[in-house]
Amino acid sequence: MITTKDCTQIYYKDWGTGRPVVFSHGWPLNSDSWEAQMMFLASKGYRCIAHDRRGHGRSSQPWDGNDMDTYADDLSELIEKLDLKNVVLVGFSAGGGEVARYIGRYGTKRVAKVALISAVPPLMLKTTTNPGGLPIDVFNGIRDGSIADRSQFYKELASGPFFGANRPGSKVSQGFIDLFWLEGMQAGGKNTYDCIKAFSETDFKEDLKKFDVPTLIIHGDDDQVVPIGAAALQSSKIIKNSILKVYKGAPHGLTFTHKDKVNTDLLAFIEN
């Protein structure tokens, strides 16, 4: 655990030795969602660090601070307290937003490379200047589901669009679905509710313009949660010299469903 400046306790796991790779997880999950990537990269000689975002997993569940600025501040405190340098930052979904906001607020003095996987930047919400985004009704529906029956909502999200289990021929295991539900229910109700606004309405365009290190962008072209058109395809245009890898037919949760390909691509990117 570390204790942040507002007395929130942030849990983290620290596996292996070598160059640090720091992971930021998606909503409503926790650091356990990176298990496949951390075990793989730690076995290849890297120090893999992943924290539970405030309000998620084993971290504290504060009433306030469930926003991207504070998430980025927490990430900065973790990196500073562990005195990490030459870091590879990896963010999935909402965690991609956290990573982007971190760079927007703190720069890349401690960062060597970045990977954004199924990430929410530059902006998920449909606006007059972001016509390719999703309507506010989509996120209001997530909020409604979270209030009405959060447990059932997570089960339906996992057994449907998150892993692409609603697609013909899907072979998503019950284990993946159960794991998503378990991690989601470890998070706080207020924290995950607030995080919906944070990941959907935060505009990361100015943050992405500050990326000045090699950046890998991975996204599935069948992502039903964070559609690729308003996300990775736009981020790759904003981030200079970024590398875009599109996984054909892959869903949002491709760190699970396509873990071997993700692991191989991450390792090659880090070592190149």
Catalytic residues, which ones?
93, 223, 252
Is the Cβ–Cβ distance between 84 and 110 less than 8 Å?
yes
| Residue 76 vs residues 85, 86, 132, 163: alpha-carbon distances, Å | 12, 14, 31, 30
Amino acid 198 reads: A
| Residues paired with residue 88 on neighbouring β-strands, in sequence order | 21, 113
Residue 109 belongs to what H/E stretch? none
Helix axes 189-201, 136-157, angle to 10 degrees: 130
Give CA–CA dist 58/11, Å, rounded.
Answer: 6
Q: Token pair for residue 164?
A: 């692409």
Do the Cβ atoms of 167 and 222 come closer than 8 Å?
yes
* Residues 6+ positions from 49 with CB-CB distance below 8 Å: 12, 13, 14, 15, 20, 21, 22, 23, 78, 82, 84
The helix (run of H) or strand (run of E) holding residue 187 is none
